[in-house]
Amino acid sequence: MSTGTGTGTRTPSSRTRSRTPSRAPRASSAQGPTAALRPGLLGRGAVNAVVALFSLYTLLPLAWLVLASAKNTDALFRSDLLSLADFSLLDNVSGLFAMDGGIYGRWYVNSLLYAVLGALIGALVSVACGYAFDKYHFRHKEKLFGLVLAAVMVPPTVLALPLYLMASQAGVVNTFWAVFVPVLFNPFGVYLGRIFSQGYVPDEVLEASRMDGAGELQTYLRVSLRMLGPGLVTVFLFQLTAIWNNFFLPMVMLSDQNLYPVSLGLYTWNSSATVTPDYYPVVVTGSLLAIVPLIAAFVLLQRYWRSGLTAGSVK
């Protein structure tokens, strides 16, 4: 009887203990998804709001530029600039290329030469230097790379006056080379070149190429440079944007308007617009056409920029 009684008295308590833990997980499982879902929704909503705000901040000036470039002089200064009336885009474009003897076309060609050719050569030089810093060992390599990183922090405007003095001593002031040569060297491009070389060019591939009898230059041109395609495109795009928007260096170096890039040429027209308002429509239209090469470059080279050309090359 004592055993049965003891067993009977322990059984309800044991059942109570066994039921008590089972109820807690059910309550937590019922509240868990809701509690986890609310912070997720709030975080996603906050991120979407920030992205929408920055997109609006970027697209509104572009929309204003597109609409303003299609307006005539009278509509440009009215309060209904954002309306869809009074379009004269073709007239503004024709007036742009006819202003001052069609010098805008010359400025556009100059910018293409400065930017495209300079960015291409500069990207090749930067990637080659970064590759050398990554794959080769020589004395004081890290100290020299430290100087490269220090040069990244120097603003380009600080170097304009020293570059002008050097160009003056060399006798190349107010020439094409005074603007073209300084933009070929980009410390940030060298840094990116080393980063991409570390990530895209495995040492095993280089050793296999050397074992096959290829020299260092042949290995770089036929093997490494193909693997560095995304890095080359990335440095090219950064360099293209920087040279195309370059303003202070041409202003210091050049006095001949036939050598002006688009940025400096539009600045001179904008300065003249305070006296002659007819320059305002051509300045706005010229600014719209000035961003077309950058947009085209990013759209056309986007897939090369994102792609990993060495996927699966090393197993």
Copy the structure tokens of residue 312.
Answer: 């699966």
- Could you give the 3-state DSSP secondary structure of residue 101? helix
d(CA 314, CA 201): 10
* pLDDT at position 69: 83
pLDDT tens-digit map of 86-142: 677 788 888 889 988 889 999 999 999 999 999 999 999 999 999 999 999 989 999
pLDDT tens-digit map of 213-259: 888 888 998 889 988 988 899 999 999 999 999 999 999 999 999 99
* pLDDT at position 195: 92
Residue 18 has pLDDT above 80, yes or no: no
Residue 36 has pLDDT above 60, yes or no: no
d(CA 234, CA 228): 10
Q: Is the dihedral of CA 76, 80, 84, 86 positive or negative?
A: negative
Mean pLDDT, the chain, as a whole number? 82
pLDDT tens-digit map of 164-204: 999 999 999 999 999 999 999 899 999 999 999 998 888 89
Q: Which of 228, 244, 231 is nearest to 293 (CA)?
A: 244
Buried b (16+ CB within 10 A) or exposed e, 40-76: eeeeeeeeeeeeeeeeeeeeeeeeeeebbbbbeeebb
**pTM reported for the whole predicted model:** 0.78
d(CA 3, CA 6): 5
Mean local confidence (pLDDT), 144-171: 91
Q: Which fold has domain 92-306?
A: MetI-like fold (1.10.3720)
Query: Quick one: what percent of the chain has pLDDT higher than 70?
Result: 80
Residue 12 has pLDDT above 50, yes or no: no
- Left (φ > 0), alpha (ψ -120 to 50) or beta: where does 311 sit? beta
Copy the structure tokens of residue 290.
Answer: 């000035």
Residue 89: which residues within 8 A CB-CB, separation 6 or more? 69, 70, 285
Number of CB atoms found within 10 A of residue 239's CB = 25
Q: State the amino acid at position 197 in one-letter form.
A: S
* pLDDT at position 79: 61
